[in-house]
């Protein structure tokens, strides 16, 4: 296991995690660069590829939360970073998907990272617990409260339309 192999195998995961949390391409690239610089410096401490993936998720999560705190709670997306609308490319309602991403971005940092790790990275609550160093019950509580809050916000916004 060398640095170049780890970089190639995990750069998409690290960027994706940072991007889905921060919703800003430039910020996600900056976080990813910082994470891989830290990885390079810590290569001797990592036991195997599995340990490296765990470490990368953990450090990416922490760095993303730190970056969001430094930047403040305002989330903006530059026009050039938004995707062009695609016809028949997505299943479901694209406006609802965009609204859901906006609502997730309003969650506090730790519950938002729990949601990203669960639904974007498809980690189990036990895996999230290890990555974020919090009890499994806390992870499950964040998930339940966040989902309830998101449901309520969606219902309220849909009630305004009717």
pLDDT tens by residue, 82-104: 444 444 444 556 666 787 888 88
**Is the predicted pLDDT of residue 136 greater than 70, yes or no?**
yes
Q: What percent of the chain has pLDDT over 90?
A: 59
103 versus 33: the higher-pLDDT residue is 33
Contacts of 49 (CB under 8 A, 6+ apart): 1, 6, 9
Residue 33: which domain range? 1-73
Q: Are residues 61 and 102 in the same domain?
A: no
Verdict on whether the full-model pTM lies above 0.75: no
- In angstroms, how far is the first alpha carbon of the chain from the final one? 57
CATH number at residue 162: 1.10.10.10
The string of pLDDT tens digits covering residues 1-19 is 789 999 999 999 999 999 9
- Can you give the pLDDT at residue 92? 58
Per-residue pLDDT band for 54 (boundaries 50, 70, 90) equals: very high
Query: Would residue 118 count as lying in a domain?
Result: yes
Decide if 1 is inside a domain.
yes
CB distance 63 to 35 below 8 Å: yes
Residue 81 predicted with pLDDT over 60: no
């Amino acid at each position: 296991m060398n640095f170049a192999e780890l970089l190639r195998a995990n750069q998409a995961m690290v960027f994706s995690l940072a991007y889905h949390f921060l919703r800003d391409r430039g910020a996600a690239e900056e976080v990813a660069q910082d994470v891989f610089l830290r990885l390079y410096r810590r290569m001797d401490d990592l036991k195997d590829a599995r340990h490296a993936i765990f470490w990368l998720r953990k450090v990416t999560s922490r760095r993303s939360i730190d970056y969001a705190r430094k930047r403040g709670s305002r989330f903006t997306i530059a026009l050039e970073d938004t995707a062009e609308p695609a016809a028949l490319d997505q299943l479901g309602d694209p406006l609802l998907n965009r609204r859901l991403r906006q609502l997730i971005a309003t969650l506090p940092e730790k519950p938002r990272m729990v949601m990203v790790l669960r639904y974007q990275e498809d980690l189990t609550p036990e895996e999230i617990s290890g990555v974020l160093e919090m009890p499994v019950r806390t992870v499950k509580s964040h998930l339940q409260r966040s989902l309830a809050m998101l449901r309520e916000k969606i219902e309220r916004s849909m009630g305004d339309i009717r």
